[in-house]
Structures are given as C-alpha cells and as structure tokens.
Structure 1
Amino acid sequence: MAALAGAPLLGRSVARAHLERAIGRAKDGTGSFLWISGEAGIGKTSLLDAATALAADRGVRVLRGTAWNDPGTPPFWLWVQVLRDAAGRAGREELLARWGPRSAEALSLLPELAAASGHPQDGTVDPERFALFDAVEGVLAAIGAEQPLLVALDDLHWTDPGSLRLLRFLTRSPGAAPVVVVATWRDAEKVPDALESLATELAAHSERIKLAGLERGEVAELLDRAAGLRVDSEEAERLRERTGGNPLFLVELARLAQDRGGGDLTALVPTSAEAIIGRRLARVSQACHEILAVAAIAGTANTVETVAALAQRDPVDIVAALDEAVAAGLASEAAGRVEIAHPLIRDCLVRSLAPTRAREVHLAAAELVADDPAAAAEAAHHLRAALPLGDVARAREASRRAAEVAHAARAFEEAVRHRAVELELAGADLAARFEALLGRGTALLALGVLAGARDDFVQAATLARARHDPEGFAQAALGFAAGTTGFEVRLWDRAQLDLLEEALVLLGDADSALRVDVMARLSVASAFAADADRRRDLAEQATAIARRIGDPRAVAHALSAHCDAIAGPADSGRREAEAGEVIANARLAGDRGLELLGLRHRIVALLEQGRTVDARADMAAFELAADHLGQPLYSWYVPLFRGYLAHLAGDMTTTRACADEVDRIGALTDSHNARILAAVQRFWCAIEERRTEEILVELRRLVDEFAEAAPDGDSPLPFFPGQEPSLRRAALPSIAAVVADLAPDAEFLSTLGLVTLAAYDAGDPPEAAAVLRDALMPYRGCWAVDGIAAGAMGPVDRYLGALDLLIGDLAAAEDHLAAALADAASAGAPLASAHTKVLQADVLDRRGGSGDAVRARELRVDALGFYRAHGLVARARELEDRLTGSASPADGPSAPARAEGRFRREGDVWQLAFRGAPAIVRHVKGMTDLAILLGRPSEETHALDLAGQGGPRQGGTGPALDDQATAAYRRRLAELDADIDEADRVGDADAAARAVAEREFLIAELGAAYGLGGRARRTNDDAERARSTVTWRIRDAIKRIEAAHPALGAHLRRSVRTGTFCSYDPEQAVDWEL
C-alpha cells in the first residue's frame, strides 16, 4: 500500500512463495488465478506491489488495474486501466493487427480507440456482453503468447459487478494460457449482495491467500525499520493485540508518535486506523487539507489542473500542497496528479469537507466533464451529489445518459444503478418515470433478473396507459414478456397475455416492427391457453407484416413464432425450412439470440425426421455460438443436446451427467425450461435403466409447479411407465378419450410413445392397443423426440410394432419393426436398434415358425451384448432370464394366460420360479412376509399382522439409535453379508443359519429406529415399529431375490407396496405355488 512506501514487506513469506510459484508456472506456459484477501491495511496492495516487481524481474509483463471507490467511476474501469496499460501508445489499427479482429470488442471499452457502434436495447438479454468478455480474453491470450503476463487487480471490493463477471469469465480455465491473475479483496467491507456473491464464487475457484496480522517479532521489526522506533517484546505484543498486527495501523501509529516526539505507543492507540488518519490530517495546513479533500472528490479526474480549477487556486499552490501531503505520508508521488496515498485517507478527506462546500465542488466537477461522453457516469454522480445545488432535471438527464452509456458498454449492473437514480429524480413526472422504469427493466432483463424486470415493466405499462402512449405500452408489455428473442417465454401467464392483448389493440392496424413483435410474442405466450388456429393466424399475420416492411429481425421473430405455433410431427419439414429463414434473417439483422432460436427450432425438426447427421451439424453450430457468447440463457442447451446424443447411443451415465449440467447452468438464469428438460432426461435414464418408479415423484412435483411440463394435463399420467398397476387398470377404460384429447403438438408423439412403452410392459388388451396404434399410424417413418431434444425415443415404427404385437397382428409388427431397425441404423441410434431387436424376438416367439426360436435367440443375444456393454443392467438381466427359459418360448407380453410362479419354503431355503426360470434364496423373515402378500393379491395387510408372523416382539426399542450405534449396526450387517456368502460357498449350513439369524435381528432393530430415507424415529408405538420393521424386512428380501432372480425381483419391486398397510398388486395376474 502506498502509505507504507519504503517500509519492508514483513511476515509474508508463505504468500510470496505462492506468488513466486505462480510466476514460475507462467514462465513455463501455465496460467493461474490468485485471490488475496484481508482487512483494510493488512498489506494486500503491498503484496501485490511485490508480485509485480517480482514478475518484472523475471521477464513477465505486468498489466495493472485498480478499482475506484466513487459512484462516478465509468463501467469496467478496472479493465479500462488494464487495456490502456496493454495498448500503450499504439493506435487502433496497429492493435487490431497485433491482437486480431476479435479485439475490436475489447477496444470498445476505450473511448479513444473505440469504433462507432450501437448496442440496441430491445428488452432481451444482450449476448454482445459475452462477446466483449471473449474479446478481452483474446487480448490477454495474445499478449501472453508473446510474453508471460501478470494481471494485477487491486481493491476489487470497489469494482462494479460487470468487471467481476468479466474476471470470472477470464479465470474459468486459468491454466489455458501463461497469464497470472492476482486480485485483492477487502474482507468485512459492506458491498452489494451481487458483488459479494461473485467474489465468493471467484475466491472458491482461486488459489487463495488470506492475510493475517503480523506476529510480535514482525511488529517490532516493522516499527524499527519503517520509523526507527525500538520496542521490547512485551510492548510489541501489547501493540499487536491492540492493532491486530495490522501494518497500516502500526505505521500510522508510529508516525503519530514521531509527530508527538515519542512516548508510550500503546497509550496512543485509538479505536481505528481512520481515527489515526484524522489526527494526522489535523497536523497539515488548512490549505493542504482542503486541496486534498477537493482531489478526493474529483475522483479519477485528479490532475493538478483539474484540482486547481475545482479548488479555485493557482496550480503552484496545488503542487506545494502536494509536496506537504507527500511528506506527511498522505499522498503519493505521481506526475501531474494528486494521488491520495490510501483509500482510507481518501474516505476521511471526503467526510471532512463541509457539506455545502462539498456540493459546490461536485457541481464544479460536473461542469468540467459535461461535454465528455466518456465521463457520463462521473457527470451523473457529481450532479446528483451536488443537489440541492444545481438543476434536478439536469441531474436526471445525466443519470439517463450514464445508464445508456453503461448499457451500450454491457455494464448492465451499472445501468440498473443509474436508472434507479433517474427514477428517484423523476418525482411526479410521469413521462420521466416511464422512461426510467422501462430502462431499468430492460437492464434487469439483460442481467437475467426476471422478477425485478417484470415489476418495472408492469409499472411502466401502468404509466403508459395513463399517458395514452400505445407504443410505450407495447414496449412495456414486450419487456414483461421477456423481450423478443423468445428463449424463455412464460406460459399459462394470464397477466402476460392480458398485457400483450391490450398492447395489440392499442397499437391499431398500422404496419410496424413493434406490432410484429407483439403479435409474435402473443402467439408464443398463448401456447396451451388459446385456440391453436389463432396462434397460427397471429404468427402468419406477423410474418406478412414483417415481410412488407422489409425488416429482417422482425421476419426472424415472426417466423420463429410460427415454428412454435406449428410444432408437432405433421409439419417437421415446413418448420425445418422456416427455421432456416429465421437463421438467415437473424444473421442479416445481427441478432445472435434469434439465430440460436432458429437453430434450436431446426434441430428439433431434423430430429423428428430422423436426420440425426444434419441435426448434429446444427448442434455443433449452436454449441460454437453459445460457447462464444457464454450466456447461460443459451448455453444450457449445449449439455441438453449432448445428453440427447448420449441417449441415442445408450450412454445413460453421460445423459444423467448432462441433465445435471443443464440444471446447473439453467439455474444461473432461473430457467423453467432447463429444470423441466433436465428432469425429462433423468426420467429417460430411469426408463432405460428400468427405475421408472424413482422418477415419477419428481415428475409429479414438476407438473404441480410448472403447468407447461404437462400441457395435456394429468389425464395421460396414469398410463405412463412406472405407475401403480391399480391406477393404470382403473384408468384403462378412458384411454380412447384421453388419446382423442391429445393435441397433435410437440408433445404428441412423446406422450403416445411413453404410453405405448407402459402398455407393452403391462400387456394391455388388444382394444386399448388399437387406440394407440390408430393415433400413431399417420406418423409412421417419423421419430419421437421428447421435449426440445431431451429424450431420444427413436422411430415411431418401433412403437407401432409393439402395439401390433399386443393386438396380435404379427405381419404388421414385422413390417414396422424392420422399418424401425433400418431407421435406427441410418440415424446412428444403437439403443433404439437394441430395443427393436428385443421386440423382433418377441414376434418370432409368438409366431413359433421353423427357425424362429434360433433367430429370436440371436436377436436377444445381440441386444444383450449391447445392454451389458452400456451398463443397462436391469435390461440385461431381463434378457438373460428370457434366454435361460428360451427352450419354452413365452407367449409374450400380450398373452392373456395367467403367469405362473413358485414361492415356497423348504427348510432353510425358498424355492422360487418365475417366467420359467428357477432360483433358490436362503430364508429371511422378509421372505415369509412376501409369501403372505403373494397369497393375498390386491388385498391390504396391516404391518402388525406381518410383524407378528415371526413371534411377538417384547418391549420397545427405547430411544432412537445414535450415529455411532447406527454406524456399528451397518458395519456389522456388511460383515454378516460376507459371512453368509462365505458359509454358502463352503457349505457350512450352521454358520450360515447363525449369521442369518443375527442379520434378521439387526434389520429389525434398524427398522424400528429409522424410517424411509434413513430418518431417525423417536417412537415406541407398536404400529409404527411394525411398519418400519416390515418395510426393512421386505426390502431386504427383494434385494436378495433380485440377486438370484432379476426378473422376479423386478416384478416384486414394481408390485409390492409397503407401509402401515402392505399389498401385492401385480400388473399381470400370477398363479403362485406357495
């Protein structure tokens, strides 16, 4: 820090070692990011100075930026300094040649080097902000390619959120280039929540250096070497305790003691470093004090000439006062500028000036920068601070200009701040309030703060209505509807629809781009809430108007709305063509958001046609553009598309990881679509892995929270995979009505496909299957795509083949499945191929012709190999079971005959059989519970009745188990499992019986102490204890059955319900031999 100029850097050996290693890595070609934090005066800036000196000695180039504690600081001031340092005296053309054309965006931060450009405020999240971030990254990488680089950033607690977001962007992969970034942050500083959150995130991804106070010996050495003061060990310890070992505090204290001619240092310690500074300010001349205070108010405009003008003094007086301040340690040597030595000193100076005099200085400072467009923020700050001196309207207009400059520079947080001041100064002026609200809403929308933006747009619409301003009302309505790009449109939103409808009426019939935007957005927002014909009419009319006025952005917006209005399998080809027009017109208009929306539409249209190769090309283009922009609003689609392709390939591990990434990125912009589609991908993972019951709870929650997750309402849900068999059976008579009510939209094929999967597993009757087949038949040759490329469901012909099997039309089934296999192969969809082969094997089993059994076995073996290779264990087990019993082909899922099974105890083992395959499982009490339930299909049995079958339990369990006891129980269970396996292996029946008995006892104890999900119970109630005990026993038994007989285990897991009342409710009746 400047106040310690000439003082040694003590007690920082560990921190210096971190910096030396980072600089050494940069010399070796690897970058890093270091975050130095600590309280005010602890030595952060001194350490940063040491880092820059060390870097320079090692041949590493240094660029530096320091944040400024002044509301008038221009947006991205931190990076303006860094880029100016990097540019030196070079001109724009020279820099473009040196850094590449991409650097033009970065140069836009420097008024002296920026080209004329505009950034429209159209109410959308501005992707150009991320082009700026990418450009700055490119500049630093270009410099680093020539010479290792250290970027030193000081006092980040005073910077703007946009500057921190740029830093976050630059440091997301710190090792990619030989660039070291070192940043300092003051702890315990009161900063806005947004800044604090960003700082926390940055620190978490950095190499952190936390500075603490100096130790006793270091305190004594600092005082000696910095001020020539000698203190003994005890006095050094007392000083360390009183000052916290803060170097600034200690040196200022030493200087105060010197000014007083010595004395007991500990007696001089006031409550804070600021108090010390106040005492020292009192010792300089009044003229020096006032000139320094004026310089502190001047902010970044602190040249000698500027300070002289503001202080109304001769420049010679300024230089004399500066010399006095430097001698007193209050200012630093700086050619032509009045540099205050430390931010704490600057704060004290500003507070020391009389309020009226401070306002006069602010007003004079505003006059000095009034004609400088680059100083819009400074002018706005000074005019606001000068009030009530000066004109309120002028101050408000300055805030508006500052907001526009910040928005154009993509410093949206600063734009929001300036708009808030503008709104405050608008008073009762309705027109001024409207402009401020519309502007702030637009900036909040660009930041992705949707709730805040929505509030501002509602207020703006109310003002526009009162002022009879149709254009203003339409702008507010569009802002409320999240702008014109349309990546995240709220559905089922009555307030949004009402605003858009009113805007359309107020605008009248005249052609305009604004009318196009309102009609297009109303069409999309009316999904599921208005007649489909009206949605199409609105989009078609908007397209016609846009073509008449020749506005490419309006054409792109209208056509994207039309693509949405005709979503569904019937118009895939048309949507592909129109999406191509969206892309082309968006590129003409320079609207990257609309371009990405066009790519999204075309990707889905291509996938619905089974043209995966073409869709992959568009996905790659989307990913390239989204990665370049770095905006979460767009970038969560990248893992979504990757998850779709992984599903297509049968890699459900990757699909699940992609779903998690969709969730993570989508949360950054509060995207409902991201949450819904991530859940859809996890749902498909569960389906492919035969775990559907685990995801239905999540789907139910999503349907309750987001109506758009189930546009057809609840009616199809009982027919989905994983539902309770009794629920499906009860709903089955209504299946024709449910299917008839489905709209032929984007969810049509996916809904029918899901219902078909469940119908095949349940063996639905032919008449129910015929309803589904008739609905799907017009779309033979299409592909079913769940959501916006969330689930790769495969060819519709596969589902038609399954339905033909249920109906008994084997010839049609063969035809459809052959087509499905060819389509899957053409599209590169091996998972769909494997599923289709399983169905083909079922057809051959049903037909039973010569050679059919052999061919069926070959098909199942092929599918089995794929399932095993891709970790689809449950599906592999099902096929293994079928192959084991393939000598006697099963009737297939549609066979009306009742299945047969055996579940009979013989001594210490249970003889099991299901679907023709036998197994043996050792006795545990849960097996007896299951046998009772199997003998009472669809009947409820109280847990107390089951708990009593093995003999009454005596007494209670006492208090719930503590963590240590629970861990011991679980360890012992694992040991007993190993003992049982070993006893079985060597044939020691007695040892196995003892281990099983002990295991039963432990399970019962745990069942009494813990509930579902491992939640500890604290009750001795008999019914509750029976419920938990029986639940644990039955789950343990099913787990053992699954290990010996996967098909039977899966059947029981789907069909057995536990709780206070337990039941066995199979999807297909089974005749059990008990």
Structure 2
Amino acid sequence: MIEALEWALQDGEHALLVKGDMRRARERFDVAYREAAQQGDGPAMARAALGLGGMWVHEHRTAAGAAMVRVRQREALAQVDPGSSLALRLRVRLAAEEDYRGGGLDAILALLSETRASGDPVALAEALRLAHHCVLGPGHGARRLELARDLIGVASRTGRRADLLTGLLWYAVDLLLEADPHAERAVAELRLALDGEDHQAIRYVLGAIEVMLSIRAGRFAQAEQRAAACHELGVAAGDHDATGWYGCQLVTVRWYQGRVGDLVPLLTDQLASPQLSAVDDFPYAGLALAAAAAGDRRMAESMLARLRGSVLADLPRTGTWLPSMYAIVEAADLLADAELAAGAAKLLAPYADLPVVAGPGVACLGSVSHSLGVAAITTGDLDAAVGHLRAAVHGNLALGHWPAVALSRSRLGQALALRDGPRNEGARRQLTQAEQEARAQDMVLPRYVTGPLTCRPSGTQWRVELGPRSVLVDHSVGLLHLAVLLANPGQEIPAAELAAGPAVAASAGSAAGPAEAAAAGSAQPVLDGPAGRAYRNRLARLDAEIAELESGSKRRQAQARRTERDWLIAELASATGLGGRARSFTGSEERARTAVGKAIRRAIDRVAIADPVIGDELRATVRTGVRCSYHPG
C-alpha cells in the first residue's frame, strides 16, 4: 500500500501534469510538503516544493504565498544532494522566479545551459518551459521559437504529455507574437492535441487565445461570451491570471466598441485584487485609458504617474509591456500630453513591425505602428503620423484584425486631414472607408476633430488655428469679421451687422432691427441681432474661461484669455460715438454685402499665403453674401 506521503505527491503530480488542475495540485503538494518536512524526507520535500511552483512562473501572487513557496524551495534544496536532478530542477525554478520578478534573463539562461549539459530530460523540459515564460516581452522572438521547438522535441524523451502540450502552446504563442501568417495553424494543432484528453491549465490559455481571435474577427458579442467562459475556466483551474486576463479582454472589446470609459468602476475595483501580478502594469494603463476616455483627467493622470517608474522607465519588458504602452499612448492623446506621447513613441520605435499582444495571446490591439502614428499626431509630426498609420493599416490587414484596420484607417484619415486639410480627398476616402468597416462590425469609431477653426487676437496680430496648424496674420477688418463668424458656427449674421463693427454695449437698447435700418438707408445702430449677441457671448465665454483657468492655477492660459478680453473691450469702446452711442452703418444691404465680402476674401487670401491648408478650409467653410456664416465639416 502506498503511504500517505507518496500518495499525496503522486496525486499532486497527476493533477498538475495530467489534468492541469492547478488548484488541486497546490492543495496536494502543500499537504505533501508538510508531511515530508515532518519526516525529514529531503527528496519528498523537493518534489513537493517543485510542484508548489506550478505550471508557470509567478503563480503565487500574494506576498505571503510567494514568500512561503520560495522558503520551502530553498529549504528543500538544502536537504538534497547538490548534484542531483532534484537540486538542479529546484535551482532552475528559483532562478526563473527571480528573473521574472526582476526582468532579467541571465540566471535562467545560465541554468538552461547547465540542464542541456546534464542530459536530464525532465530538468531540461522544465528549464525550457520556465525560460520561455521569462521572455514573453518584445525583442525575443527568435529565442522564444528556439525554446518552444526544443521543448516539443524533448517531450518525446520525458514521456510527459504536459511537456508536449506546453511546447505546442508556446510555439503557437510565439507565432502570434511575431505576426506569423501560420500562427492559426499552430493554434489548430494545439486544439487537436487537447481533444484526446483535456488539460485544464493549457485549455484555459487556449481559451484566452480564442477570445483574442474573436476580437480580431470583429465578433465582439462572441468575444465577450468567450471571455466570460474563459474566466470561469481559469478560476476553476486555479489560474490566478483569470482576473487580470478578463479585465484586459474587456478593455480591448470596449475600446473597439467606443465604450471603454464604462469600465472605470470595474477596473478600479480590480486594481485592488491581490491576485494581480506584481509585474503586470496593464491594469494601471488600462484604467488610465478608460478614465481619460470618460473625461476623468485626475484619475488618468494618477494612473500614468504610477507607470513612470516601470513601463515608462522601460523596466521590465514583460508580456504586457506592449499593451500597456498602447494604452499609455492613447491616454496621452486624449489628454493632449505631447511629452508623454513622445517618450512612449521613443520606447516603442524598435518594435514597429510587431503586433500588440498581451501575454500568451490574451488580447491583441493591432500593429505597434498604430501607436507610433497616434503618438505622432499628438506631438504634431503629421508626416510621420501618416507614414506610421499607413504601415498600421497594412499590418492590421495582414493580421486579419478588422477592428484594428478600421481604427488605424480612421486615424490615418485624421492625420491626412490635419496635414492636408479636412477637404483632402485622401483623408475623406480613408475616413469614409473606416466608417463603412466599423459599421460592418457594430464598432464605434472615435470622432477625431481636426478643427475647429479659430481666429483670435495675438498682440497686434491675429492667430488663426486649425487643429495643430497655426498662423499669425496682421490685423485687418476682414479678420475681425472672420473672428465673429468662426466663434459662431452655423449662425447666419447679416453683412450689415458685421460692417457696423463690434458696437455691442451701446446698441443694446436700439428698437430698430438691422434689416429695417439697412432698408431705410438710415444711420441706425445695427448690432442688436446675431452679431451683437456674438460679441456678448464671446465676452461671457471669456469671463467663464478666465475664472476656470484661474481656479485651476493655469495662470499663463488665463492671462492669454484676459488679453483677448481687454482687446475686445477696447474695440467695443472705439466703436462707440459721442455719449456712448454706437457707430452706425449707412447704406443698403448690397453695399454691406460687397464691403464685407471683399474684406473677408482679402483676409482669407492673406491666411492662405501663410498656410494654404488653413486658407483652403476657410474658403470651403466661410460663406459671404447678404448674410455671412461659417459651416465647419
């Protein structure tokens, strides 16, 4: 009869290696270790301590749990022959755990060489499996493939089915991480290998990959259902990644649905979970993106600040480093943080040709080139943005990632519109195609605003802006008219009122309307209508903006608004006659139409000389005549 200690060890090994039931394995190995320690059985302690390590690295997430297992493995190592297979396997496990936590590779790779020389197939299989887990970050593609192929090969020598399944899994993951066109064939091979006899731990990772493939196909409802089922499978298998992976998958689905801001409460709660990996920063990055999308700037900036000492310091590059950087770039764009976007882009640049895949295929956010393009938009380098986003569209097409294709195409349209103007044919074509692709997937694209056009005084000149484009033009009456029109999009303002100038306060009590005054040829104050309201509204908005900026300690921006307010008040004062009476405009509507139209066209010509794109947009959106207006987009 097998004694209780040996039975517990065999039951734990069967649960782990044959069934993939990590929860039961931990329970049985814990019982076995306690019994072995009580009996002073060093080899049994070593087998139990090895089993407590589990299938992967970093399986024990709480500080207490991880410390307990580490102490047991070291105690067991001291109780066995240093030259034994058990000692070598324990040293491999300890080295892998240490390297994974610290982001290094030296210790595990050195021991991998030692296991190759030892001729021990079990020790080699475990070293290959654990070393592979330590190199899931970008930049290790060739090394990963070598490790996976070696593990598949050595599995025939160990006789352990778990070694073959793990090798097939890592091989499929490697092809996914490198955007290899044969990746889905490798996934299919793994699926077939599991059909004969299931292995819960491997099945769970395969389930996560299938969620990712559903997202790539644009099947969001299916992906969400699979993610929920996958989460239940992970919990049942005792995989502590279940919480973090589910959150990552939900962020990806909601991001493409245009609803990532809805996840702020869920992600905030998940952030406190002790089961999250200590070396996984995606929960912070995902929450930063969700908060930025929801308009919660304070929370977004808080989460980003937590990342500056890890992801943004380029240490360590784990399997969630690229997704974290993706979320950081998108959050930086939403927050208009050009400095953050530029820093992230510098770190991402070496990996432009890779896909953004989380862990062993948990989720995919398309090509890294997309993030580089978004960062370039944020920093205003529009030529670079167009180049990166063209590459992103191509890369996402090759991946068959249809939501990412639509999003990158939409961003490409935005970059072209910012660079060449919203009326640019290429920009319109990309944006139209992106909208069509998005509708086919029940996907909501962000509305990227390339404007608005603004015209504001800047010292003795006027600053005309369109998105990131900006030009300074000397003062003219036409620019004053443009400022009124651009500040009131979609509103028709009579040319007679524009011609009268900004006499707002003095004309407030006039009883005669501008049309009647113009028709009668009388010298009446003519700014009681839309133009007068425009000036009054602008003053009110300036007062509100100044108060808000001052309350936020943004003194420089507040001073700029105050300068504009003082200038407008001075203009109003100069527009009044004796006794505070408003200046009048004498003449017909036709005279006003002609004078205002010429003044606006001359102003637009001057803007176009300085910046043809802004000039073209003004010509396309500003209408002159008896009534003048600005109609963006």
The counterpart of 2:91, out of the listed 511, 515, 519, is 519
Aligned counterpart, 1:335:
none
Quickly say closer, same or farther: Cα 1:579–1:732, change in 2 above 3 A: closer
Task: For 1:451 and 1:477, locate their aligned partners in 2 and report how far apart those are by CA, in whole Å.
Answer: 15
Task: For 1:893 and 1:657, locate their aligned partners in 2 and report how far apart those are by CA, in whole Å.
Answer: 41
Aligned counterpart, 1:865:
436
Task: For 2:272 and 2:302, locate their aligned partners in 1 and report how far apart those are by CA, in whole Å.
Answer: 22
Task: For 2:323 and 2:243, locate their aligned partners in 1 and report how far apart those are by CA, in whole Å.
Answer: 18
Aligned counterpart, 2:113:
544
Amino acid at match of 2:260: T
How far does residue 717 in structure 1 lie from its aligned partner after superposition? Answer: 5.9
The counterpart of 2:168, out of the listed 595, 599, 605, is 599
CA contact (8 A) 1:763 1:894 kept: no
Aligned counterpart, 2:77:
504
Of stretches 860-869 and 824-833 in structure 1, the one that deviates more from structure 2 is 824-833
CA contact (8 A) 2:46 2:90 kept: yes
| CA RMSD, Structure 1 to Structure 2 (Å) | 3.8
Bigger RCO of structures 1 and 2 (CA < 8 A, at least 6 apart): 2
How far does residue 826 in structure 1 lie from its aligned partner after superposition? Answer: 2.5
Quickly say closer, same or farther: Cα 1:583–1:732, change in 2 above 3 A: closer
How far does residue 707 in structure 1 lie from its aligned partner after superposition? Answer: 4.7
Task: For 2:490 and 2:94, locate their aligned partners in 1 and report how far apart those are by CA, in whole Å.
Answer: 61
Task: For 1:692 and 1:671, locate their aligned partners in 2 and report how far apart those are by CA, in whole Å.
Answer: 26
| Deviation per residue, 1:1017-1058 (Å, 9 max, x gap) | xxxxxxxxxxxxxxxxxxxxxxxxxxxxxxxxxxxxxxxxxx
Matched, 1:481 2:57: no
How many residues are treated as equivalent by the alignment? 468
The counterpart of 2:320, out of the listed 747, 751, 761, is 747
Quickly say closer, same or farther: Cα 1:453–1:553, change in 2 above 3 A: closer
The counterpart of 2:356, out of the listed 784, 787, 796, is 784
Quickly say closer, same or farther: Cα 1:870–1:762, change in 2 above 3 A: same
The counterpart of 1:760, out of the listed 318, 333, 343, is 333
Aligned counterpart, 2:240:
672
Task: For 1:621 and 1:646, locate their aligned partners in 2 and report how far apart those are by CA, in whole Å.
Answer: 18
Quickly say closer, same or farther: Cα 1:896–1:657, change in 2 above 3 A: farther
Q: What stretches of structure 2 of length at least 5 have no aligned partner?
A: 456-463, 473-485, 492-543, 552-633
How far does residue 775 in structure 1 lie from its aligned partner after superposition? Answer: 1.3
Task: For 2:30 and 2:305, locate their aligned partners in 1 and report how far apart those are by CA, in whole Å.
Answer: 47
Helix, strand or coil: the match of 2:364?
strand
TM value normalised by structure 1: 0.40
Helix, strand or coil: the match of 2:79?
helix
How far does residue 800 in structure 1 lie from its aligned partner after superposition? Answer: 0.6
Quickly say closer, same or farther: Cα 1:662–1:524, change in 2 above 3 A: farther
Helix, strand or coil: the match of 2:140?
helix
Amino acid at match of 2:313: A
The counterpart of 1:490, out of the listed 57, 60, 73, is 60
Structure 1 segment 113-512 matched on structure 2, within 5 A: 397=1, 400=2, 423=4, 434-442=5-13, 453-482=25-54, 485-486=55-56, 489-492=59-62, 493-512=66-85
Task: For 2:363 and 2:321, locate their aligned partners in 1 and report how far apart those are by CA, in whole Å.
Answer: 13
Quickly say closer, same or farther: Cα 1:774–1:709, change in 2 above 3 A: same
How far does residue 716 in structure 1 lie from its aligned partner after superposition? Answer: 4.4
How far does residue 456 in structure 1 lie from its aligned partner after superposition? Answer: 4.6
TM value normalised by structure 2: 0.65
The counterpart of 1:808, out of the listed 376, 380, 383, is 380
Amino acid at match of 2:345: R
How far does residue 594 in structure 1 lie from its aligned partner after superposition? Answer: 1.8
Task: For 1:570 and 1:520, locate their aligned partners in 2 and report how far apart those are by CA, in whole Å.
Answer: 23
Of stretches 805-814 and 628-637 in structure 1, the one that deviates more from structure 2 is 628-637
Task: For 2:109 and 2:243, locate their aligned partners in 1 and report how far apart those are by CA, in whole Å.
Answer: 31
Task: For 2:324 and 2:226, locate their aligned partners in 1 and report how far apart those are by CA, in whole Å.
Answer: 22
Quickly say closer, same or farther: Cα 1:525–1:729, change in 2 above 3 A: closer
Aligned counterpart, 1:558:
127
Helix, strand or coil: the match of 1:704?
coil
Quickly say closer, same or farther: Cα 1:578–1:453, change in 2 above 3 A: closer
Quickly say closer, same or farther: Cα 1:828–1:559, change in 2 above 3 A: same
Task: For 2:192 and 2:465, locate their aligned partners in 1 and report how far apart those are by CA, in whole Å.
Answer: 51
Quickly say closer, same or farther: Cα 1:938–1:650, change in 2 above 3 A: farther
Aligned counterpart, 2:221:
653
How far does residue 635 in structure 1 lie from its aligned partner after superposition? Answer: 1.9
Matched, 1:830 2:402: yes
| Deviation per residue, 1:790-821 (Å, 9 max, x gap) | 21111111111111111122222222222222
Task: For 1:901 and 1:525, locate their aligned partners in 2 and report how far apart those are by CA, in whole Å.
Answer: 62
Aligned counterpart, 1:793:
365
Larger Rg: 1
Aligned counterpart, 1:9:
none
Quickly say closer, same or farther: Cα 1:607–1:728, change in 2 above 3 A: same
Quickly say closer, same or farther: Cα 1:620–1:830, change in 2 above 3 A: same
Aligned counterpart, 2:536:
none
The counterpart of 2:425, out of the listed 830, 834, 854, is 854
How far does residue 936 in structure 1 lie from its aligned partner after superposition? Answer: 9.0
| Deviation per residue, 1:995-1037 (Å, 9 max, x gap) | xxxxxxxxxxxxxxxxxxxxxxxxxxxxxxxxxxxxxxxxxxx
Task: For 2:84 and 2:433, locate their aligned partners in 1 and report how far apart those are by CA, in whole Å.
Answer: 62
CA contact (8 A) 2:169 2:202 kept: no
Structure 1 segment 42-61 matched on structure 2, within 5 A: none
Aligned counterpart, 1:610:
179
How far does residue 779 in structure 1 lie from its aligned partner after superposition? Answer: 1.6
Aligned counterpart, 2:393:
821
Helix, strand or coil: the match of 1:486?
coil
CA contact (8 A) 1:610 1:795 kept: no
Aligned counterpart, 1:626:
194
| Deviation per residue, 1:659-713 (Å, 9 max, x gap) | 1221233333233223432332122111111211222333333332245446255
Task: For 1:477 and 1:733, locate their aligned partners in 2 and report how far apart those are by CA, in whole Å.
Answer: 38
Aligned counterpart, 1:76:
none
Task: For 1:595 and 1:447, locate their aligned partners in 2 and report how far apart those are by CA, in whole Å.
Answer: 14
Task: For 2:450 and 2:220, locate their aligned partners in 1 and report how far apart those are by CA, in whole Å.
Answer: 24
The counterpart of 2:204, out of the listed 603, 616, 636, is 636
The counterpart of 1:703, out of the listed 250, 264, 271, is 271
Identity across the alignment (%): 23
Task: For 2:450 and 2:395, locate their aligned partners in 1 and report how far apart those are by CA, in whole Å.
Answer: 27
Task: For 1:440 and 1:785, locate their aligned partners in 2 and report how far apart those are by CA, in whole Å.
Answer: 35
Quickly say closer, same or farther: Cα 1:600–1:701, change in 2 above 3 A: farther
CA contact (8 A) 2:403 2:441 kept: no
| Deviation per residue, 1:384-416 (Å, 9 max, x gap) | xxxxxxxxxxxxx3xx2xxxxxxxxxxxxxxxx
The counterpart of 1:570, out of the listed 117, 121, 139, is 139
Quickly say closer, same or farther: Cα 1:839–1:557, change in 2 above 3 A: same
How far does residue 641 in structure 1 lie from its aligned partner after superposition? Answer: 1.8
Amino acid at match of 1:685: V
Quickly say closer, same or farther: Cα 1:767–1:480, change in 2 above 3 A: closer
Task: For 2:449 and 2:468, locate their aligned partners in 1 and report how far apart those are by CA, in whole Å.
Answer: 12
Task: For 2:253 and 2:402, locate their aligned partners in 1 and report how far apart those are by CA, in whole Å.
Answer: 16
Aligned counterpart, 2:535:
none
Task: For 1:455 and 1:590, locate their aligned partners in 2 and report how far apart those are by CA, in whole Å.
Answer: 25
Task: For 2:27 and 2:417, locate their aligned partners in 1 and report how far apart those are by CA, in whole Å.
Answer: 64
Task: For 1:730 and 1:699, locate their aligned partners in 2 and report how far apart those are by CA, in whole Å.
Answer: 14
